[in-house]
């Protein structure tokens, strides 16, 4: 399987450019995104146990895998902060913890980068992404995030954005736009899992 050199999604048939059709059509607002593994098999199972069965101790092994990937891929890149994609507070309460924040905390400690847990806030609850079409997902997320107090200290700097899964990338793109509007210089993305592109031509 190939890995898109821009969004990091797995797939077949990216051709000589090594870039998936979607990224060729429109360059994402981040520099690069990478995931540890495709969203399937044992990684998918581990993530489900972590998120839905409340096994928060899994944040350590999963976060360390992500930190190791970042250290391998971007050894000379310095980040001013690690920023988690925020879960809406209502959903975090339901689940009793915020998985992206836990993973970001592990990555920040492992890589010795400050955690900026309040750089992004989710200001609007959004319907579950999985039930929507791609077009609806994008408009669904518009205005869902706001830059928080931590973002002001990061003006002109580079940050590492962390989420558990990258599916269409709509959430990550919306977070990047919000951070860039707040003056953040550049964004790299790391997730535990990422989607598999099946529509390459
Ligand atoms: Zn791509």
Specify the pLDDT at position 126: 61
CA of 62 to the centre of ligand 1 (A): 23
Distance from residue 97's CA to the centre of ligand 1 (Å): 30
What global pTM score does this model have?
Answer: 0.90
Q: Tell me how far the alpha carbon of residue 54 lies from the centroid of ligand 1, in angstroms.
A: 31
Q: What are the helix and strand counts (H, E) for the chain?
A: 7, 9
Q: What is the pLDDT of residue 58?
A: 94
| C-alpha 3 – ligand 1 centre gap (Å) | 8
Q: For residue 107, what pLDDT is reported?
A: 98
Kindly report the CA angle at 8 between 174 and 145, in degrees rounded to 5?
A: 15
Centre of ligand 1 from the C-alpha of residue 89, in Å: 30
pLDDT at position 71 is 95
The SS3 call for residue 159 is: strand
pLDDT at position 124, please? 75
pLDDT at res. 136: 56
pLDDT profile of the chain (201 residues), mean per 10: 93 88 94 96 93 90 97 90 86 76 97 95 69 57 85 94 93 95 96 84 51
User: How many angstroms separate the alpha carbon of residue 43 from the centre of ligand 1?
Assistant: 20
CA–CA gap between residue 33 and residue 19 (Å, rounded): 12
What is the 196 CA–ligand 1 centroid distance (Å)?
A: 10
Q: If you measure from the C-alpha of residue 194 to the centroid of ligand 1, how many angstroms do you get, rounded to a whole number? A: 11
Q: What is the pLDDT of residue 135?
A: 57
Per-residue model confidence (pLDDT) at position 162? 98
Q: Which residues pair with 191 in a beta bridge?
A: 35, 163
Domains of the chain, start order: 30-198 (3.40.50.2020)
Instruction: Compute, in angstroms, the gap from residue 90 CA to the centroid of ligand 1.
Output: 32
């Amino acid at each position: 399987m190939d890995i898109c050199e821009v969004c990091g999604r797995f797939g077949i048939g990216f051709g000589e450019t090594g870039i998936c059709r979607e990224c060729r059509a429109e360059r994402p607002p981040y520099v690069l995104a990478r995931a540890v593994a495709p969203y399937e098999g044992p990684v998918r199972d581990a993530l489900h146990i972590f998120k839905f069965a409340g096994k928060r101790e899994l944040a350590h092994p999963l976060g360390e895998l992500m930190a190791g990937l970042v250290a391998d891929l971007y050894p000379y890149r310095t980040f001013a902060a690690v920023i988690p994609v925020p879960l809406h507070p209502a959903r975090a309460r339901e689940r009793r913890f915020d998985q992206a924040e836990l993973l970001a905390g592990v990555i920040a400690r492992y890589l010795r980068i400050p955690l900026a847990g309040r750089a992004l806030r989710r200001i609007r609850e959004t319907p579950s992404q999985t039930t929507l079409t791609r077009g609806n997902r994008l408009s669904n997320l518009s205005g869902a995030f706001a830059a928080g107090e931590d973002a002001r200290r990061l003006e002109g700097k580079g940050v590492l954005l962390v989420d558990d899964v990258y599916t269409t990338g709509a959430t990550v793109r919306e977070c990047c736009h919000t951070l860039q509007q707040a003056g953040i210089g550049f964004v790299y993305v790391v997730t535990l899992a990422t989607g598999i592109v099946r529509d390459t031509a």
